[in-house]
Structure 1
Amino acid sequence: MLPSLFLAHGSPMLAIEDNNYTRFLEKLGQQYHPKAIVIFTAHWEAETLTISSLDESYETIYDFYGFPPELYEIKYPAKGSTKLASYLKDRLAQAGIPSNLDTKRGLDHGSWTMLSKMYPNADIPVIQVSVHPFLPPEMQYKIGEALKGIGQEEILVIGSGVTVHNLRIVHWGQKEPEPWAVAFDGWLLEKIEKQDLASLFEYEKQAPNAKTAVPRPEHFVPFFIAMGSGNGLDQVQPIYRDYEFGTLSYLCMKF
């Protein structure tokens, strides 16, 4: 059975860098061999959950600016799957969660930068799914629960986001993480270890430095979706933890 993963997509530079994190992603891709990938990306927001539904290759979206020219030359021509998109829509509907299908949108950098490291041949069908940042954590978890067990079908669910994501206060070039960022991630790991869902759902009130770590929730909600779709809190493991620019977290989880 495949787990669900929460992976930090960090900077778009991941696609052209060679560092500890990119090497981790490469090894992760070698570890899991799914027949399809479902990825909830922080860079696609919609009030109604929206699922990419196409069979041809995706366009590569460069939803960033100011980066080196070679980054804009990368293509990740993975194909979609209308059959799997419809299957996901049905699973969500059975859980009372409405969704739409989208036939045009390409893969944004919340998807292709990581996938280009994990599965560089782009030969695995990808279904990209939007997020609604302002649904409560309980609802995000429920969205994930609607897909629970899908790993038994060799489908890999990935929540693509970042736990500590506040670009207004990054410290360019800083190697050591800020204590407040470490404390926020530490609180998450502690509550997960205790299987304390109630506290996790109230992270805004209970977690240290929550407003600083998560000034806007779009990058954090894939964490709850991946958690809900996983194999149970007793199976959760942190699989990577590091920080860039003092505050940008690269915490990754296996659910």
Structure 2
Amino acid sequence: MMPALFINHGAPTLALAQSDYTGFLQETGKRLTPKAIVMFSAHWEERVTTISFADGPLETIYDFYGFPDALYEITYPAPGSPKLAERLEGVFHKAGIPTERDNKRGLDHGSWIFLKYMYPEANIPIVSVSVNPFLPNEEQYRIGEALRGLGAEDILVIGSGTTVHNFNEIKMGQQHPEQWAVEFDDWIADKVENRDVDSLVQYDRLAPHASRAVPRAEHFVPLFHAMGSAASAVTKPKVLYRGYEYGTFSYSCFEF
């Protein structure tokens, strides 16, 4: 049985780091060995839920600029799975969720940055699914709900994003977190651990400093996808990791 995860993919330079956080990613990969992965990355946005039907090896997408040359030499040639993609298409349609296909989409840095630590052999099939930050939060959660049951087949659903993600609030070189960012994450962590979906879907109105922490929702909505896919009273959601970089950049990760 696989849980679902919300994982912070960090900045592109995370791929070159050795830190407490990368150690956490490595240990998480050793603990969970899925047959396949369904990935919702904040860095793939489409108006209609779009599924990657690429077979693989999947292209490593360098969707960033001005970083060290070593980053552009990293590849993560994981296999795709058109068979799993077709299945996802079917369950989404059954739930009344329109979809489109993308036959070429590889892995953007919201995926391979942390997967290279979790599963360095790049041998687990991955199907990416796009996000749409403009949908109501209740609909974001419903997209995840359509995938309930995949964990029982050892398919790992991952939402890749960040809880606090505001480039205008980054404090370069600052080691300690800003209090407002901690207060926002405290609120989110409490609602996640108590599976308080009713409050979470209203986070933008109820959570302290919500507009400051989430000026745009694309990095936050993968949390709803992951949590919805594992929505069950059988296991208690939990915080896997808490940490910050640059004063406000959150590394909160959750397991559902």
TM-score range, shorter chain: over 0.9
**Can you list the C-alpha shifts for 1:110-139, whole angstroms capped at 9, x where unaligned?**
011111111111000010110000111111
Q: Distance in 1 between matches of 2:183 and 2:232?
A: 24
The one-letter code of the counterpart of 1:155 is I
Q: Distance in 2 between matches of 1:47 and 1:220?
A: 16
The one-letter code of the counterpart of 2:229 is S
The one-letter code of the counterpart of 2:112 is W
Is 1:222 paired with 2:206?
Answer: no
Contact 1:4–1:151 (Cα < 8 Å) also in 2: yes
**Can you list the C-alpha shifts for 1:134-184, whole angstroms capped at 9, x where unaligned?**
111111110000001100111000000000000111001111000000000
Using the TM superposition, give the Cα deviation of residue 54 of structure 1 relative to its aligned residue in structure 2, in angstroms. Answer: 2.0
Using the TM superposition, give the Cα deviation of residue 193 of structure 1 relative to its aligned residue in structure 2, in angstroms. Answer: 3.4
Scaled by the length of structure 2, what TM-score is found? 0.97
Contact 1:3–1:231 (Cα < 8 Å) also in 2: no
Q: Give runs of aligned pairs for residues 17-96 of structure 1, distance below 5 A.
A: 17-96=17-96
Q: Distance in 1 between matches of 2:97 and 2:229?
A: 14
Partner of 2:187: 187
Scaled by the length of structure 1, what TM-score is found? 0.98
The share of aligned pairs that are identical, in percent, is: 56
Q: Distance in 1 between matches of 2:186 and 2:28?
A: 23
The one-letter code of the counterpart of 2:236 is Q
Q: Distance in 2 between matches of 1:212 and 1:223?
A: 18
Contact 2:195–2:237 (Cα < 8 Å) also in 1: no
SS in 1 for 2:79: coil
Contact 2:145–2:231 (Cα < 8 Å) also in 1: no
Q: Distance in 2 between matches of 1:26 and 1:243?
A: 18
**Can you list the C-alpha shifts for 1:167-223, whole angstroms capped at 9, x where unaligned?**
111001111000000000111122233332221111111110000000000000001
Contact 1:4–1:231 (Cα < 8 Å) also in 2: no
The one-letter code of the counterpart of 1:191 is K
SS in 1 for 2:144: helix
Contact 2:2–2:155 (Cα < 8 Å) also in 1: yes
Partner of 2:211: 211
Q: Give the root-mean-square deviation of aligned CA atoms.
A: 1.0
Is 1:124 paired with 2:124?
Answer: yes
Contact 2:50–2:100 (Cα < 8 Å) also in 1: yes
Q: Distance in 1 between matches of 2:194 and 2:152?
A: 26
Q: Distance in 1 between matches of 2:178 and 2:48?
A: 36
Deviates more, 1:192-201 or 1:74-83: 192-201
SS in 2 for 1:235: coil
SS in 2 for 1:239: strand
Is 1:161 paired with 2:156?
Answer: no
SS in 1 for 2:50: strand
Partner of 2:252: 251
Using the TM superposition, give the Cα deviation of residue 231 of structure 1 relative to its aligned residue in structure 2, in angstroms. Answer: 4.6
SS in 1 for 2:208: coil
Q: Distance in 1 between matches of 2:64 and 2:157?
A: 25
Partner of 1:105: 105
SS in 2 for 1:43: strand
Contact 1:138–1:201 (Cα < 8 Å) also in 2: yes
Q: Structure 1 unaligned runs (5+)?
A: none
Contact 1:149–1:231 (Cα < 8 Å) also in 2: no
Divergent runs of 4+, >4 A: none
**Can you list the C-alpha shifts for 1:26-82, whole angstroms capped at 9, x where unaligned?**
111101111101100000000100111022211111101111110110000011011
